[in-house]
Amino acid sequence: MLNRNKVNKIIYWVSTLWLSLGMLSTGIVQLLRVKEDTDFIINMGYPVYILTILGVWKLLGVVAVLVPRFLLLKEWAYAGFFFIMSGAVWSHLVLRHSFGETFPPFLLLVLTVVSWYFRPAERRLSLTFQ
């Protein structure tokens, strides 16, 4: 029987690997400026250069989340993922996009929260104020 700690680690690693794969793949697509993605961003009303910014942030965020140590940087990466994905979900909702278009960023938003919540103690930043 699995204990709670082991279950939490499994949830953490599954969600973190799926999150990382999603951010890595979309970040690469954004940096390569794939035509469909570029057209989609333009149709949503955003400038094309935002793709470079988002792509770089996503790739750096994946590295920060996966690499051990650098706990403060991890917190910033999770926060960045949360802001990027919540902004994407909101943009889709405001433009009344279909569920199929809104679901991928929503899934990455959920994976961000789950990964952050279930991260092991050695990957948590503990602040002590004196």
12 near 113, Cβ under 8 Å?
A: no
With a cut of 70, say whether residue 127 has pLDDT above it.
Answer: no
Using one digit for the tens of pLDDT, what is the confidence trace for 38-68?
999 999 999 999 999 999 999 999 999 999 8
User: Quick one: CA dihedral 25, 66, 115, 81, positive or negative?
Assistant: negative
> What integer best gives the mean pLDDT of the chain?
93
Return the pLDDT at 126: 78
With a cut of 60, say whether residue 129 has pLDDT above it.
Answer: no
Return d(Cα 102, Cα 96) in angstroms, integer. Answer: 9
Task: Summarize the confidence of residues 25-36 as an average pLDDT.
Answer: 95
Residue 96 one-letter amino acid: R
* Residue 97 DSSP one-character state: -
Return d(Cα 7, Cα 64) in angstroms, integer. Answer: 23
